[in-house]
A and B are shown apart, each in its own frame.
Chain A
């Protein structure tokens, strides 16, 4: 077992597409076992930032560095849950097995990890069901279970509960808090202030492609150190 790939350090990240600066001057450190919420209005660049951190896109400027591990280790030890769940056309169980195989987890370890992941997500009874027959809430829970199955050092989530009912939201938040307690660092993107309050330890407020304020969750949310963040948290529409 190698050491954790964390901390993750992003320095002065920028992203320019079609001559538009979409992200600018983002510096950010994610330490082991932390729970960071990236908060901000639609179009702030939250999804883009997450894709850069997860290595889906190359930043135009700035650097992203991990503390340890080869590039293969880094792929294996991080995971991402996308806004819209994408599952292979096979059973719930087979989807998790596939992910473990793709991450290079030895065959003999897979069934144990799959069982654990299914249990934690409350999907054991649905293990043989075709993944695409699950309800939207269950599908997103499967996404989280699949992402957590290999016990990653860090998990990125892009508004995973944006279109779910309160019970499904609660179950996913519980999964995240439990995984965090086991040592997985979480970076959760949301535009939902009350969700940030429920789960976040640290808040990063993103607006117009820049970090517009950050701090420990309760104090930042109660007393944000930026005017835009204060307006957003007060429920005002900001542009």
Chain B
């Protein structure tokens, strides 16, 4: 076994994987497309939900003065590093038949995966938004107060002016969501044609010894990430992001 491994250098696997990846994409493999679609669908939905909650929460913490603000900030910053498997386990306990939300029967569905990834990504979006908005607020504070801007208008103004930085925040969240495997594996179960996404497929193929296929899927996953980031960057350029921001 060991000898065989030595005789088959990594390069061989890598070449085979690249070929396989190209072939899978070129032939438009139906299973692959389904997996990619679900990956993007689940992670994009989770990021969208995270942005709605996390950006408002982050901005609110940035502009409100309340007792324990420092502690909340520290908590939020540490939640950025939540281990996906722990989040997966927590959501599993919530959604399992015996759990408090068991009646909804959500375990092993894409919805469960979205919930888990939202819990994973929301703190990242909130913590980074808090930092970004706080910096903008420091710059704008006096001018906006002079104009009588307060409350909701203050928050929306800061969020809107920070929009280009916040796109980067959303991308960071998306990167985290699309790449994680622990949470979706536990609450989704990697069921073929139902909850299988790219990362869980990679984990499965690796464990079955199909290294070339696993590696091919990995290459495609990185490609998908690149495509999403590239699309956002070019949209940003079209809508006037430039050096003065």
Where the two chains meet, the residues of A that have a C-beta atom closer than 8 Å to any C-beta of B are 54, 56, 72, 75-76, 79-80, 82, 86, 88-90, 98-99, 102-104, 130, 132-133
Q: Mark B144-169, 1 if CB is under 8 A from A, else 0.
A: 11111100010001000100000000
- Expressed in whole angstroms, the Cα–Cα distance for A130 and B242 within the complex equals 10
Bound complex: CA of A83 vs CA of B153, how far in Å?
Answer: 24
B149 contact set on A, CB distance < 8 A: 102
User: Nearest Cβ distance between residue B153 and chain A, in whole angstroms?
Assistant: 7
Chain A binding surface SS class = mixed
- How far is it, in angstroms, between the C-alpha of A72 and the C-alpha of B149 when the chains are bound? 11
User: How many angstroms from the CA of A54 to the CA of B144 in the assembled complex?
Assistant: 13
Q: Mostly helix, strand, loop or mixed at chain B's interface?
A: helix
* Contact A76–B148 (Cβ < 8 Å): yes
In the A-B complex, the 4 residue pairs with the closest CB atoms: A132-B244, A86-B143, A75-B148, A102-B147
Which residues of A sit under 8 angstroms from B140, Cβ to Cβ? 86, 88
Contacts of B161 in A (CB 8 A): 88-90
Question: Is the CB–CB distance between A89 and B245 below 8 Å?
Answer: yes
Tell me the B residues contacting A by CB distance below 8 Å: 139-140, 142-149, 153, 157, 161, 240, 242, 244-245
Query: What CA separation (Å) do A163 and B213 show in the bound complex?
Result: 64
Residues of A within 8 A of B146 (CB): 54, 56, 79-80, 82
Is the beta-carbon distance between A82 and B244 smaller than 8 angstroms?
no
Shortest Cβ distance from B148 into A: residue: A75
Report the Cα distance A103→B140, complex, angstroms.
Answer: 16
- Once the chains bind, are A88 and B157 in contact (CB under 8 Å)? yes
Given the interface contacts A86-B139, A130-B244, does A56 sit within 8 Å of B145 by beta carbon? Answer: yes
Asked if A102 and B143 make an inter-chain contact with CB atoms under 8 angstroms apart, the answer reads no
CA distance A103 to B157 in the complex (A): 14
**Chain B nearest CB, measured from A181 CB (Å):** 24
| Chain A, residue nearest B240 (CB) | A130
In the bound assembly, the distance between CA atoms of A231 and B240 in angstroms comes to: 53
